[in-house]
Structure 1
Amino acid sequence: MPSRVRSPLLLAVLVAAVVPAVLALLVPLFAAPAANLAPRDLPIAVAGPAPVADQLAGRLAAARPGAFEITTLPDAAAADRALRDREVYAAFVAGPDGVALHTAPAASPTVALLLTDVAGQLAAERPVTVVEVVPADPDDVRGAGFAAGFLPLALGGLLAGALLVLLVRTRPARLAGLAVLGVIAGPVGAAILHGWLGVIDGNWLAEAAATGLFVLAASATVAGLGALLGRPGLALGALLVFLVGNPLSAVGAAPELLPQPWGEVGQWLPVGAGATLLRSVAFFGGAGAGAPLAVLAGYALVGFALVAVAGGGPAESGAATVEPDGVAAPVR
């Protein structure tokens, strides 16, 4: 009797001690990136005649040391091309009437707003003309809808991958489930984000393909690790896809606004790569899609491979067969 009392008590004390420790890790992980948003080598352009552009670039570098990675371009047309190609987030264009700011809020409304403030400080008393070269969707000018609508896709992929490992016993069925998920999730996600919520407004087929690949990459990662390592693998997959991948994704900001190297690390994880890919196809005609496309395809392929070659995982290891004498025995 005393041991029965002590075991639940010990378990309760252990839970009470572990949960605060986990929270001590998770709260800074989620809050620190958002609390320390600032430009760090943020790609921008300065356009105009060489002497004027060089002077303006020098003023920007002196005003915010280390904040900007500055490219000098000859004129406004070149600056706008760089914006549409996702090479820079904004361009300070020097002209006879002063400095104009050309922005791409579709890449990051947060960055566009931040640089508008910087332009105002540079111009002092003179008004700054702001030209939105690649605007955000008119129904989501702050980008909040995009971020809020995108993250449930990550949760859905995570949940699907875990359920395939926990409930489905055979490898072929798990692989078929992943494939069907990728095919269905893309059109459904694009229909919601594009047609219903109206937070993206590009080519619908490209948006569906990007969304489907992202959900597939997330689910295949979780399923592959779960098939390889069992329930610890599912926990590791959840860590990569959401608990770490979400706060480092910069879905609502930009990777260059996060403390480094975490902003760069986030782009190598499924959520960060997925958000960048979807922005590229939804607003920039696919410009800048190469790197995130490769990252997501890599996660999807590795996940499929792990499911195909790894052990059965929780569903098979927990199954039972009936021996000739009628005694149930676990499947080995």
Structure 2
Amino acid sequence: MTTDENSPARSAGGGPHHAPLGVTGPESAVAAVQKQLSGDDWEVTAYDNSRALVRAVEERDAVGGLAFGDDGVTVYTATAGGQMISNAISGLGTALAGQQHVPATVHDVVPFPKDDPRGTGLAAAALPMIFGGMLPAIALLQFFPGHANLRTRLAGVVAFALAGGAAVTAVLQFGIGTLDGDYWVTSLGLGLGMAALAIPFLGLESLFGYAGFGVGSVVMMFLGNPLSGLTTGPYWLPDGWSTLGQLLPPGASGSLLRANAFYGGTGAGGPALVLGLWTLAGVALMFAADRRRNGRAGREAGDAPAL
């Protein structure tokens, strides 16, 4: 059974793409599901029992799972890992239970907090995360123009990122109730995401002028944002686009936020590494611009006539 190719879920390439799905139960039932879901939507893995399946969902080895038993089908979801993929798993489990004429019971293993059960605040965090990287860069370029202020801009953007991460996390966690993790860890992760946007922006402007800043902004707004998978989770995007989205700061920042806020840091290493590399790349661009300026100044000094 696969997702209907003409359904709204498939619009614009949306729908499960090689999503890791766990199954457990009698061998015959598991084999039948593996054969039925042999397309590109799901990557089915068999587990020894329901406890192992639940642990796989908690550890992010699976986006959800199906447990087949004499009393029906138990569907395990993780809405905090992606609302749409969880809905797809629920629908899949209900359909398979209907084929067997048994009931289906849904258990949300990793839910959103009760104050925001649909994760509305998480969807609303996308633009603050991006603008939290763009606006500080714009402000610092205006207040501290010229190559002589590169280090001042770098220090300023780090301070802005830390403050912005703390502020956005406070609103999402204490104001809206969307997040449910360690506040300081989550805020530092968001701050890293904002820095991974702002510092490359500053580096591009320092080396290529406002044209470089503009190109970077367009890429992040019109490519990084829609491919971030912040609201859907990465498995709801086509494979290649999903990979690209997770290699850009918005996608990596969203994945890091999800890992810290809902999974106790499980799976945070990859996106943190991506953000760290973007930050270092931005710093490298700024120092390349600084070296170019110093080299030009040295040549001009050497060409000046002696008095």
- In the superposition, the TM-score normalised over structure 2's length comes to 0.85
Pair 1:100 & 2:56 matched: no
Of 188, 195, 200 in structure 1, the residue corresponding to residue 179 of structure 2 is 200
Task: Give the partner amino acid of 1:54.
Answer: A
Structure-1 residue corresponding to 2:6 = none
Structure-1 residue corresponding to 2:119 = 143
Task: Give the partner amino acid of 2:186.
Answer: E
Of 162, 171, 184 in structure 1, the residue corresponding to residue 163 of structure 2 is 184
Structure-1 residue corresponding to 2:304 = none
Of 2, 12, 22 in structure 2, the residue corresponding to residue 35 of structure 1 is 12
Distance 1:131 1:83, change over 3 A: same
Task: Give the partner amino acid of 1:156.
Answer: G
Shift of 1:278: 0.4
Q: Is 2:224–2:251's contact at 8 Å kept on the other side of the alignment?
A: yes
Pair 1:210 & 2:189 matched: yes
Determine what percentage of the aligned residue pairs are the same residue.
34
Of 131, 137, 145 in structure 2, the residue corresponding to residue 161 of structure 1 is 137
Q: Is 1:161–1:221's contact at 8 Å kept on the other side of the alignment?
A: no
Task: Give the partner amino acid of 1:163.
Answer: A
For residues 201 and 97 of structure 2, what CA distance do their matches in structure 1 show? Answer: 50
Shift of 1:102: 0.7
Task: Give the partner amino acid of 1:47.
Answer: T
- SS class of match (1:267): helix
Task: Give the partner amino acid of 1:237.
Answer: G
Of 220, 223, 230 in structure 1, the residue corresponding to residue 202 of structure 2 is 223
For residues 261 and 11 of structure 2, what CA distance do their matches in structure 1 show? Answer: 25
For residues 200 and 151 of structure 1, what CA distance do their matches in structure 2 show? Answer: 17
**More divergent stretch after superposition (286-295 vs 34-43):** 34-43
Contiguous gaps of at least 5 residues in structure 1:
1-31, 314-332
Shift of 1:172: 1.6
For residues 202 and 157 of structure 1, what CA distance do their matches in structure 2 show? Answer: 23
- SS class of match (1:310): helix
Shift of 1:171: 1.2
Pair 1:130 & 2:109 matched: no
Shift of 1:152: 1.4
Structure-1 residue corresponding to 2:91 = 117
**More divergent stretch after superposition (185-194 vs 263-272):** 185-194
The count of residues paired between Structure 1 and Structure 2 equals 279
Task: Give the partner amino acid of 2:37.
Answer: L
**More divergent stretch after superposition (271-280 vs 120-129):** 120-129
Q: Is 1:43–1:89's contact at 8 Å kept on the other side of the alignment?
A: yes
Structure-2 residue corresponding to 1:77 = 51
Q: Deviations over 1:177-212 (max 9, x none)?
A: 122123212211211111111111111111111111
- SS class of match (2:79): coil
Structure-2 residue corresponding to 1:297 = 276
- In the superposition, the TM-score normalised over structure 1's length comes to 0.79
Q: Deviations over 1:238-274 (max 9, x none)?
A: 0232221001111111222122311111000011111
Structure-2 residue corresponding to 1:90 = 64
Q: Is 2:65–2:89's contact at 8 Å kept on the other side of the alignment?
A: no
Shift of 1:50: 3.3
Contiguous gaps of at least 5 residues in structure 2:
1-8, 293-307
**More divergent stretch after superposition (271-280 vs 50-59):** 50-59
Structure showing greater radius of gyration is 1
Distance 1:167 1:311, change over 3 A: farther
Shift of 1:292: 0.5
Structure-1 residue corresponding to 2:305 = none
For residues 179 and 111 of structure 2, what CA distance do their matches in structure 1 show? Answer: 11
Distance 1:34 1:149, change over 3 A: farther
- SS class of match (2:227): coil
Structure-2 residue corresponding to 1:307 = 286
Q: Deviations over 1:218-253 (max 9, x none)?
A: 111211111111111111220232221001111111
Moved segments of 4+, more than 4 Å: none
For residues 217 and 231 of structure 1, what CA distance do their matches in structure 2 show? Answer: 18
Structure-2 residue corresponding to 1:254 = 233
Shift of 1:94: 1.4
Task: Give the partner amino acid of 2:143.
Answer: L
Task: Give the partner amino acid of 1:102.
Answer: Y
Shift of 1:311: 4.8
Distance 1:34 1:282, change over 3 A: farther
For residues 10 and 91 of structure 2, what CA distance do their matches in structure 1 show? Answer: 21
Q: Is 1:137–1:199's contact at 8 Å kept on the other side of the alignment?
A: yes
Of 175, 181, 201 in structure 1, the residue corresponding to residue 154 of structure 2 is 175
Task: Give the partner amino acid of 1:138.
Answer: K
Shift of 1:303: 1.0
